[in-house]
A = this chain, B = another copy of it.
Amino acid sequence: MKGTTLADGPTINTIAERAGVSIASVSRVLNGLPTRQETVRKVMAAADELGYVRNAVARSLKSRRTHQVAFAMADVGNPAYLAMLRQIQPVLKDAGYRLVLHSTDAVVADEIDVLHSLGERYVDGLIMVPLRVTEAHLEMLDAARAPVVIIGQVPEGTRVDNVRADSRTGVKLAIDHLHALGRRRIGMINGPLDTVPGAARGAAYREALGGVGLPYDEDLVQIGDFYRAEGGRAVAELLDRVPDVDALMCANDLIALGALDVLRAAGRRVPEDVAVVGMDDTDLAAASWPSLSSVSLGSAERGRAAAELMLERLQGGDGEPRLVTVAPRLVVRASTAGAPVADFPAESRTDRKESAE
């Protein structure tokens, strides 16, 4: 514990007085501009003694750069967004940017707010994952006075950098895998069709079936919601209606966990009787029993790509808007693999040392 608690932080004026030089000289020294040795010494000494720290706000006002970037998404608790955040954070940090986090709680008005507040210039740029893209979004994007990177679909011609997943190919990977395992009665448990992911995944399922020459059978499709219990209920109904189903494509991992619950209760073995594939490849997939095969839509990669696009813009890049599409990946685990893996499963990507007291 030193002692020097200062009533009100020192400024370059304080230093200038103390060192007996002008504030201009202080600024020069602090910024490493050519200055006489003697002056440098005096200024540094004064700054040290006073415990001077540069005021970031004043700097920003002058330089018109805040060295902050905002990341806005619906909910940090969602593993997909979290995976993005975990990639975005270090990329920005290494480039000297701070990360301002906005959780919009799936309220569209909040998203518009964030876009609007971009005008306040408290950040140099914004990375956003919109729930869906409304007219209001497009207007604000068009008028944005700072670079924006959108993770998700934007209409053709929107003048922003854009990073996309490819859920269509993702679903296809899963269906191809199941088909190769000999499954022919592949059900789909989806979330609401009026959501972006629900619609996309449903259509992709139908298309992928066609790709392997399987007929599309409405009876094999059950709509629920993107939650575990709801997913379980949907599976229960499907089992009732189509007892000979031998595989389930689930629209996300939570639904797939619900499927495991219900299959177990119904005495169906996974994967022997029914194979199960989830989507998003969250932490939960590796934690469940049997561990869950899951289609990764590359949240982490999308986050990284978005951060990198942003940095390029911030470093002066002002070319045409760019589009990056991230390839999906099927992670095969016990729920489709045949014999469940035992003993020592591989670390999940997010295994971390706990450090709560």
Contact = CB atoms under 8 A, between A and B. Distances in A.
B78 A120 contact: no
Contact of A357 (B58, B165, B262): B165
A120 B233 contact: no
Interface in A293-350: 297, 299, 342-348, 350
Interface in A86-129: 86, 89-90, 93, 98-103, 105-106, 116-117, 119-122, 129
Given A354-B191, A354-B252, A356-B80, A138 B229 contact: no
Most buried by B among A66, A105, A119: A119
A353 to B, nearest CB: 5
Contacts of A164: 357
Interface string A267-287: 000000000000110011001
B78 A355 contact: yes
Given A2-B142, A77-B352, A288-B288, A93 B82 contact: no
A287 B103 CA distance: 25
Contacts of A103: 89-90, 93
A227 B167 contact: no
Question: How many copies of this chain sit in the oligomeric assembly?
Answer: 2
Interface stretch (A14-22, A38-46, A173-181, A195-203): A195-203
B261 A343 contact: yes
Interface string A176-191: 0000000000000001
Contacts of A57: 57, 60-61, 66, 121-122
Interface of A: 1-2, 4-6, 9, 51, 53-58, 60-61, 66, 68, 74-78, 80, 82, 85-86, 89-90, 93, 98-103, 105-106, 116-117, 119-122, 129, 131, 138-139, 142-143, 145, 152-153, 164-165, 167, 191, 195-197, 200, 225-229, 232-233, 251-252, 254, 257-258, 260-262, 264-265, 279-280, 283-284, 287-289, 297, 299, 342-348, 350-357
Given A167-B357, A261-B343, 6 more contacts: A74-B355, A76-B86, A100-B100, A106-B353, A262-B344, A279-B354
